[in-house]
Amino acid sequence: MVDAARVLRNLEELRALTADESGAQRVAWSPMWLKAREWFAEKLKTLPVEDHYDAAGNHWVTLKGASERVLVVGSHLDSVPNGGWLDGCLGVLAGLEVLTNFVETCNGQPPVTVKLVDWADEEGARFGRSLFGSAAFAGKATIAADRGRTDREGVTLEAALAACGVDVERVGEAVVEQKNLAAYIELHIEQGPILERMGKPLAVVQGTKGVERWAITFRGQEAHSGSTPMEVRRDALAAAAKLALEIRPIARRHPQAVATMGSVKTFPGIVTAVVGRCETTLDMRDLDAEVLAGMLREAQAASERFAQEEGCTVEWAKIWSIEPIPFSPELIALCEEAIVETVGVSERLPSGPLHDAAEVARLGVPTVMMFVQSLKGLSHNAAEDTRREHLEQAVEAFGRLSEKTMQWIGKS
Ligand SMILES: [Zn+2]
């Protein structure tokens, strides 16, 4: 059995060591992050494991099993500035407990090799590159772009990596860690309000939502606000405003879809002029690729219609997109079993935010995540919290999932 109380003690120890009154300060590539990693390495000393850092700075801890096939358990110790005490480190410390449990119950040698990974720079908080370590591991390193990245103080990513012993030119070599991977599992806080609203402690994550992110520009005619009659105006903001309202029913037609117009800029943007140009952004997400593509088509058609109604034109330019990444149906079923055996009831949720698990799943490695309820849906700040009872249940259910996954690898 895993010892959930030990995980909580470790979480509190890490918080005392790496947080101040504003929250967790374990920003990747910073001295405090290195301190957290040193503290973690110290915890490994009593276990019969080997550990090393790969070319992208990911920390791998290996417990050799009878078979070379590998069950990977992972998450991240890094945080955003003024972050929460659970985001990422819950998964790493629950993973440490899983490893310890296998040592104790399998006489030091489980049937399958178990690896625990602490991914480097999941948050991308300082250099704007999220999932840095897991993307490099998955063969998606962006070295050309990484060379040019700097933080707000003008420090280059290259220099920050070098200070941590990582060579920016070689991060792609982390792909060697893919060898013999049979499954990946990760425990994480939900970071949203859904489980609390349902009154459920735990959920299986079905996958990460696909994202369509676009810049949409409406063009009309700048005109004097006093002399231009209402019926002849070509008001670009009016067309954009209609779209901002229309994306809500477009998303609401699908139970898990979301759509957000997060930025609106008007030109000339003065109180005495009709808006001639309006630049907006749209971010849409869903777990189903067809639903997402349909939402995009509907939003585009609506924007054309509103542009025409207001005597404007509209242009769409893609900012970024990623396809939905579904997790393994078999591991989803095992995760659901583990949750039901622990708390009697489960839920299936997609993840809106991306996670390291998505990079692993994209490689075709069977993957699943477990979410534990977040209080008030808050994360990425000092108010982030989860009931103690729910954390204990999460570690217990995650322990069960690790054992089930181990057996599943043995059979498959
Ligand atoms: Zn996280």
Indicate whether 365 and 260 sit together in one domain. Answer: no
Whether residues 289 and 395 share a domain: the answer is no
pLDDT in tens, 144-198: 888 989 999 999 999 999 999 999 999 999 999 999 999 999 999 999 999 999 9
Q: How many distinct structural domains can be found in the chain? A: 2
Between the CA of 88 and the centroid of ligand 1 the distance, in Å, is: 4
Q: For 114, phi and psi rounded to 5 degrees?
A: -120, 130
Q: Are residues 338 and 192 in the same domain?
A: yes
User: What tokens were used for 77?
Assistant: 């110790």
What is the percentage of the chain residues whose pLDDT exceeds 70? 100
* 150, 136: one domain: yes
Residues 31 and 109 in one domain: yes
Residue with tokens 């676009």: 214
253 and 395 fall within a common domain: no
Residue 128 has pLDDT above 90, yes or no: no
For residue range 301-314, what is the model confidence (pLDDT) as tens digits?
A: 999 999 999 999 99
β-pairing, 223-224 vs 202-208, is unpaired
- Residue 142 pLDDT exceeds 90: no
Average pLDDT of the chain to the nearest whole number: 96
Asked whether 136 and 124 are in contact (CB, 8 A), the reply is no
Q: Give distance in angstroms: CA of 165 to centre of ligand 1.
A: 23
Tokens of 181: 């991977």
Ligand 1 mean position, distance from CA 309 (Å): 44
Distance 295 CA to ligand 1 centre (A): 28
Residue 297 alpha carbon to ligand 1 centre in Å? 32
Strand, coil or helix: 55? coil
Residue that is last in its domain, among 286, 303, 322: 322
Average pLDDT over residues 346-368: 94
Please give the pLDDT value at position 234.
Answer: 98
Residue 322 has pLDDT above 90, yes or no: no
Residue 15 burial (C-beta neighbours within 10 Å; 0-12, 13-18, 19+):
middle
Domain boundary among 269, 291, 322: 322
pTM over 0.85: yes
| 358: nearest Cα among 318, 401, 323 | 323
Query: Which domain CATH number covers 232?
Result: 3.30.70.360
For 15-25, the pLDDT digits (tens) are 999 999 999 99
Q: Do 76 and 168 belong together in one domain?
A: yes
Distance 373 CA to ligand 1 centre (A): 14
Q: In which band, very low, low, confident or very high, does the pLDDT at 319 lie, cut at 50, 70 and 90?
A: confident
Query: How many angstroms separate the alpha carbon of residue 188 from the centre of ligand 1?
Result: 7
Q: How far, in Å, is the centroid of ligand 1 from the Cα of 38?
A: 20
* Span from the CA of 243 to the centroid of ligand 1 (angstroms): 32
Mark whether 63 and 184 lie in a shared domain: yes
Give yes or no: residues 272 and 400 share one domain.
no
CA of 304 relative to ligand 1 center, distance in Å? 38
Pairing of strands 67-75, 112-118: parallel
- Contacts of 213 by beta carbon, 8 Å cutoff, 6+ apart: 281, 282, 283, 284, 318, 319, 320, 321
Residue 215 and residue 255 in one domain: yes
Query: DSSP assignment of 168-179, as one string?
Result: GGGGGGGGGGGT
Lowest mean pLDDT among 49-53, 93-97, 282-286, 379-383: 379-383
The secondary structure of residue 375, as a DSSP letter, is G
β-partners of residue 53 are 59
pLDDT of 353 reads 85
How many Å lie between the centroid of ligand 1 and the Cα of residue 387?
18
Higher-pLDDT residue of 1 and 337 is: 337
First to last CA, the chain: 24
Show the DSSP H helices in 255-365 as ranges: 289-309, 329-343, 356-362
Nearest to 72, CA basis, from 57, 85, 62, 58: 62
- Phi and psi at 60, nearest 5°, equal -110, 130
Contacts made by residues 36-44, CB under 8 angstroms, sequence distance 24+: 36/77, 36/89, 37/77, 37/118, 39/13, 39/14, 40/14, 40/77, 40/92, 40/96, 40/118, 43/10, 43/96, 44/96
CA 355 to centroid of ligand 1, rounded, Å: 7
Contact (Cβ atoms closer than 8 angstroms) between residue 258 and residue 250: no
Centre of ligand 1 from the C-alpha of residue 232, in Å: 51
Q: Which H or E element spans position 316? A: strand 313-322
User: Which residues constitute the domain of residue 272?
Assistant: 210-322
Phi, psi (degrees; rounded to nearest 5) at 333: -65, -40
Beta bridge partner(s), residue 371: 188, 203
Looking at the predicted structure, is the pLDDT value of residue 87 above 90? Answer: yes
Q: DSSP letters of 193-235? A: SHHHHHT-SEEEEEEE-EEEEEEEEEE---EETTTS-GGG---
Assess whether 245 and 374 both reside in one domain.
no
pLDDT tens-digit profile of 210-230? 999 999 999 999 999 999 999
Distance CA 76, CA 24 (A): 13
Cα 230 to ligand 1 centroid, rounded to whole Å: 50
Residue 250: its pLDDT value, please? 98
Same domain, 392 and 276: no
Ligand 1 center–CA 288 separation, angstroms: 23
- Enumerate the β-bridge partners of residue 318: 214
- CATH number, domain of 156, equals 3.40.630.10
Token pair in block for residue 179: 């060898």
- Ligand 1 centroid from CA 84, angstroms: 10
Q: What is the pLDDT of residues 228-266, one digit of tens each?
A: 999 999 999 999 999 999 999 999 999 999 999 999 999
pLDDT for the residue 337: 98
Percentage of the chain modeled with pLDDT above 90 = 94
Domain boundary among 270, 292, 322: 322
